[in-house]
Chains A and B, each alone.
Chain A
């Protein structure tokens, strides 16, 4: 049941991906309502799958690698739709949809049964820490999407090519603004995520600091984005350079996600 729902969500995200790519290939905007609705359908089905699994596990289903990927996808789609509701940026969906699709596909591939949580980690900190950290990652994924579009749009403008599609991408100014907003929010969430993790570790194991690789990666990510934010606020960094750094920061997040979980390093990789 739960796996079926997950696969239905995968299909809906795939549909959204096709919708966005077809729009680009045909150099013509498809109906603006289609992509958000496909994603909304995916979000509903996907959320149901996660809720079912969480009920069965007795705690929020974010403790296996597959669960973590799936949760990241659902949060990313939810944030995109929330942003989209305030300000139509369908083009961002062209990056968000394949990202969500890839994440759930990976979740499906890594699918495993629920893992029992060690008693020491049974705590209210679990949802708080995980939700904050995942929200941070998802916001940075959105910043990554905007930055990717920025680089594409900027290349087109510079080389005077791809005129036909040009008007269907948001303006550089808009993309840069999305990047900035995501940067600020992502940093706030990442900071809270790290802090909640430290508090929780202190509560569970009595020591708040360890050389947990996930923490090291998180601090590295944090450093990249803090430097970027500092540069934006004081040195007037923007545009291409800001987009490139945003993408670099996101690469660290992806690297941490993959290496920590696939190689099963540290507490985030094996302890639960």
Chain B
């Protein structure tokens, strides 16, 4: 059966608030049954679902764009028991090239909340894997998704979109890399076990920092967080004693006085034979004395410095995104040439069948009218009508075949289908 359209219906962090997104999300267990439901919808031949915390998208192939386009929102509403009209305001629908482009942009993380983040690609691969395993996807979506993965890879390697740090943790890592060659043999000290500090410490560990110490006024809390991070808790009154062991210090607490004053750091530097120390003060008001930065081989950054790095990098990412869009344009074109070439052979067959059918019907009618007056009449009419049909069809068929060979534009296939009314509508066949 022919597949002539790709439709994508979905919502994301820009069109729907989190309350809506979480209602429509397909959790791990729900994905498989939902995919089975999806391909059971009449008119849908292939389908896949992408569901992350920032988006829910359903992509499907079928013969009729309008039918698929209206079936998908209904499917979403039914699956989640949400009233159709309430949903409609949040949904966007992309058809054909735009659907492919949207999927490519999602994979390349151009549509993400944090442009250039890499998680979405992993989620896409995983969820497409589910669609493939339950047999919901076929030839078209297989190629479309795999192409989206390679486009994402191309965008990643040919643009600087993912190069720059855009979270506090990765900005801290970027700054730390200016000082330290390797992070694996470095120890971080987290002062103040709040959520922000824990997150930053986690990101540092994810980027390879060897170990972490957790200092907190309430020792129990330090123990909890240290257990979470796989680190070592340090009692607050032992801070000065353990400070020389830390290469990176993340301050997230502040109080009446600065938690760390220059003399203390100076002493620590002496003890560690002046190996460099890297301090980040994430607390507002600041918890580390800014005078620390004046000590040789000590580098102190505050939250504004990190925000500055992040803002610079976001700007750089936006510039790189423009380059990425050009890559995606080219890839969408290439995909679309392939997709429309799928229609060439069926179109040629349909065109021949249709014209041949007309010829036969008209010939039979003519022969019935003439009767058996002249036995040669049938032969002559047969030859004349065949010649007319073949000569008329010669031009269009050549153009279509050339399209197939060159994978040229979709224009001819579409034109032939419209001009000769080669639709799915059975009424067309009658004349």
By a beta-carbon cutoff of 8 Å, the part of chain A in contact with chain B is 28, 153, 156-158, 160, 163-164, 166-167, 169-174, 177, 236-241
Output the nearest chain A residue to B272 by Cβ-Cβ distance.
Answer: A236
B210 at the interface (CB under 8 A from A): no
Residues from chain A with Cβ under 8 Å of B181 in the complex: 170-171, 173-174, 177
Q: Output the least CB separation between A200 and chain B (Å).
A: 41
Total interface residues in chain B, CB < 8 Å: 23
B299 at the interface (CB under 8 A from A): yes
Residues from chain A with Cβ under 8 Å of B174 in the complex: 166-167
Q: CB distance A163 to B308 under 8 Å? A: yes
Q: CB distance A238 to B275 under 8 Å? A: yes
Cα A181 to Cα B273 with chains together (Å): 19
Cα A34 to Cα B377 with chains together (Å): 81
Q: What are 19 A-B interface contacts by the 8 Å CB criterion? A: A28-B160, A160-B301, A163-B308, A164-B312, A166-B175, A166-B178, A167-B178, A170-B181, A171-B177, A171-B178, A171-B179, A173-B180, A177-B181, A236-B274, A238-B274, A238-B297, A239-B296, A240-B297, A241-B296
Q: Output the least CB separation between A186 and chain B (Å).
A: 21
By a beta-carbon cutoff of 8 Å, the part of chain B in contact with chain A is 160, 174-175, 177-182, 273-276, 293, 296-297, 299, 301, 305, 308-309, 312, 316
Output the nearest chain A residue to B174 by Cβ-Cβ distance.
Answer: A167
Residues from chain B with Cβ under 8 Å of A236 in the complex: 273-274
Q: CB distance B276 to A173 under 8 Å? A: yes
Cα A153 to Cα B293 with chains together (Å): 15
| Top 7 A-B pairs, shortest CB-CB distance | A236-B273, A173-B181, A174-B181, A239-B297, A171-B181, A157-B299, A172-B179
Cα A239 to Cα B297 with chains together (Å): 7
Cα A1 to Cα B140 with chains together (Å): 64
Q: CB distance B312 to A158 under 8 Å? A: no
Q: CB distance B293 to A158 under 8 Å? A: yes
Q: Output the least CB separation between A181 and chain B (Å).
A: 13
Q: CB distance B274 to A172 under 8 Å? A: no
Cα A238 to Cα B298 with chains together (Å): 12
Q: CB distance B312 to A163 under 8 Å? A: yes
Cα A180 to Cα B316 with chains together (Å): 36
Residues from chain B with Cβ under 8 Å of A241 in the complex: 296
Residues from chain B with Cβ under 8 Å of A163 in the complex: 308-309, 312
